[in-house]
Structure 1
Amino acid sequence: MKAENLRLKAELVGMVEKNRLLEADKANLSQDNAHFSSRLGELEATISQLRSELDSVKADAVKMAERHQLLESENAKDKEKLRVVDQKEEDRARICDELKRKFEEAAEANDILKAELESATQVQEILDGERSKLAAKLAKDKAHLEESLKDVEAAEARTTIAVEYERWKSRRVTLEQAQQGLGDLPALILEARTIEEEAK
């Protein structure tokens, strides 16, 4: 009986100890619950803040997407402008090459014309020299011609004098024969005319 009481007493002490431990656990649980409640409030506040920040990030993402589309559109426009610039640059390069080719052709033609001009100048100089020689020869020939003309005129003058002399001489003979009464007068006149015609 005593042993039973001891056992019950021991069980009672054990139950008291368990009850104390349970109370301690309950107190700890209350503290933990309060701590978790406080922590939960903080987490909810953090989540609310994160949601607000997420909404802000989403709004920023939408703005960034719109900005990206705008940049893509501007980039496409810039690429088109660049393509046009490149095309114009190619056209300018092609025109420049064409002008360079024409300039080279013009330079070659100019060199040919320059050579032809130099050749023509040399020919002109030769012609001028020949012209000077011909002018000198012409002047010399003209002087000779003038001298020859003077000689011809002198010869003609001498011939005229000789003819006149012969006429005078024929007339004199005729007159002398007429005075002497020799020969027939008409025959003498005819003879005189014949001599005159031959003289002419």
Structure 2
Amino acid sequence: MSEDKDELVKASTGTETALDVASFVGSAVPWIGGPVSNVLGGMSLGRKLGRVREVLESLSNDLKEFKSEASESYVKTEEFEDLLEQTLKRVGEERNEEKRHLYKAFLTDAIESPEPYDDQLCLLRTFEQISPDHIRVLKAFSQEPNPNPGMMGSPIQTLRERLPELDEQHIEEIVAQLNDMRVTNLGNLKVMMTGHGAADIRIDFFHQLLKLKEIVCYEVA
């Protein structure tokens, strides 16, 4: 699913309600069921409930085997409920599936590694600067390299192979934007190098987005 199709995620049943979603989450991961129920009970999602359900189901899968007393205490706080509400509102409005997945990853990280509310909210706001094409390019960087590349190559050649739906100029523009945001720090994409060097352009996708928080939230201009 992509933003181009502009489709709402369908509810699992025609009469599904927010409380049904909260009940599912509570049965899968009981210790986050209460906060989810509290937040969903106060939200008006209408046809956008399917998007929220999709993210909460994926979040439940992430946390099913996770155990932490600190996290279980954190999700009971008012700060977490506020953060969850802020995130789910964005999820409900977000048409792009990949960006909704990003919000899910944000919630997983927030629960597993609790940080002060202002820091988490700042990171959530920085995600609003990230476009679907930014996500596509960052994911292309994070892919495992081809084990049998040619003798020579360049980073832009690798990106073009991984992003056939984007033309070369647009890829260069997106990378330049990521450099300006200091999510990446890449030089000349057209420089020729060994095939293995050109194929191995890996960066950790979510780690790079966490770096954005350090820049936006903490750096003094």
Give the alignment's TM-score, normalised by structure 2: 0.13
Task: Say which structure, 1 or 2, has more relative contact order (CA 8 Å, 6+ apart).
Answer: 2
Structure with bigger helix share is 1
